[in-house]
Amino acid sequence: MQSKKGAFMGKKQGAFRTTIGGQALIEGILMRGPEKQAIVVRGPEGLVIREEELKLIRDRYPILGLPLIRGGVTFLDSMVKGVKALMFSADYFPEEETEEPSKFEKWLDGKLGSEKMEKLVIGFSVVLAVFFAVGLFMLLPTFLASFVELATDSVLIRNLVDAALRIAIFMTYMICVSRMKDIRRVFSYHGAEHKTIFCYEKRLELTVENVRAQSKHHPRCGTSFLLVVIVVAILVNTVVFALFPVDNVALRMLIQLLLLPLVVGITYEFNLYVGGHDNPITNFLARPGLWMQNFTTFEPDDSMIEVAIEAMKRVIPAQEGKDAWGR
C-alpha cells in the first residue's frame, strides 16, 4: 500500500516552491522542513539517521520574526544547527591516527562535562566561522582599499576598489576550495540535495531516476545567499560612506560590522522575495547566484541521491502545503 506521502509525491498537480532546504555534510545531508530536520549519513555500516523536532527561538520571541530582524536570527540558527550536523557526520569518519587529548581538553571535559563541552565547541566554531567570513570578505577588502587613499582622495574610486576586492576574494576562495578532493565530494552531496528538492517541487515521485534528471542549480541556495550578502554589503556601504564619509580605516571597519545585521536582514528579505516569484526581473536577479553554484555543486552519484531522498522524505510535513514558500 502506498503511503500518504508517497501518493502525494506521485501526483502531478503542478510545481510549487518549498521552504524545505538542506546542507551537505561529510558523506551525508541535513534537510530542514517546517516541523523537523533530518540528518542522514552514509556511514561504514550503512545509513545513519537522526531526526529532531525544530524549536525556533523566534517562535518564543515573536519580535525576532519581524522583517529585517528575522534574517540574522535565521542565519545564526542555521549556522548552529549546521555545525552540529557536521560534527555528527564527522563522528562516523574519524581520522586514522587519533591524538591523545591534551591536558587542557581533559580539564575542560572534567569541569564542564561532555554535553557542555560540545556546546562550547559548537559556539566557538560558529563564532570562528563568522569572524573568518567577516574578516576575509568584509574587513580585509576595506583594509586593502585604504591604500588607494595614498593615490587619490576620491571616495567613489575607493568604494569601487573595495567592491572589486570583495568579489575577487570571495570568488578566488570558492574556486580554490572547490578544487579540494574532499570538498568536491561534499559539493556533490550539495548537488544531490538540490536535485531532490527540485524533484519534490515538481511533484514527482522521489526515486533515484527522477532525482537524477533534475538540475543541480537551485535558485534558493545558501551559496547564493552568501554572494548576495556581499553585493548588498557593497551597496549599503557605498550609500552610507557616500553620505557620511569616514577617512579612518578602523572606524570604517567598525561601522561595517555594525551594519552587518542590517545587511543580512536585507539579503534575507531579498532572497525571500526572489525565491517566491517567477518573472523576468527575479530570474535575472537570481542568475549570479545560479552561476556561482558552478563552483559549489557537482553531479552526485546514485548513492548520494539515495541519501538525499531519505533525508527529504523524513521532513515532508504530513499537512500538504505546510512547507509552501511564502506561507
Q: Rounded distance, CA 225 to CA 234, Å?
A: 14
Question: Is there a domain that residue 214 lies in?
Answer: yes
pLDDT in tens, 94-141: 555 455 555 555 555 665 565 666 667 777 888 888 889 899 998 999
Tell me the whole-structure pTM to 2 decimals.
0.84
Question: Is there a domain that residue 34 lies in?
Answer: yes
Predicted confidence band of residue 1 (pLDDT cuts 50, 70, 90): very low
Domain range for 89: 4-93+103-313
Helix or strand run (H / E) with residue 50: strand 46-53
DSSP state of 244: S
pLDDT in tens, 37-66: 999 999 888 899 999 998 878 778 889 889
pLDDT in tens, 174-187: 999 999 988 999 99
pLDDT in tens, 199-210: 999 999 999 999
The predicted pLDDT at position 11 comes to 44
User: What is the length of the chain?
Assistant: 327
* Tally of domains in the chain: 1
Question: Is there a domain that residue 187 lies in?
Answer: yes
Q: Rounded distance, CA 157 to CA 134, Å?
A: 22
Q: Rounded distance, CA 104 to CA 153, Å?
A: 51
Ranges 6-10, 245-249, 277-281: which has the least confidence:
6-10
Question: Is there a domain that residue 183 lies in?
Answer: yes
Question: Is there a domain that residue 325 lies in?
Answer: no
Question: Is there a domain that residue 59 lies in?
Answer: yes
Q: Rounded distance, CA 211 to CA 297, Å?
A: 15
Question: Is there a domain that residue 326 lies in?
Answer: no
pLDDT in tens, 216-231: 999 888 778 888 999 9
Q: Rounded distance, CA 261 to CA 72, Å?
A: 6
C-alpha cell at 300: 552526485
Using a CB cutoff of 8 Å and minimum separation of 24, what contacts does 317-321 make?
Answer: 317/33, 317/34, 317/35, 318/4, 318/5, 320/8, 321/16
**Contact status, residue 282 vs residue 274, Cβ threshold 8 Å:** yes
List, as one string, the DSSP characters of 60-99: H-GGGGSTTTHHHHHHHHHHHHHHHHHHHHHTTS--SSPP
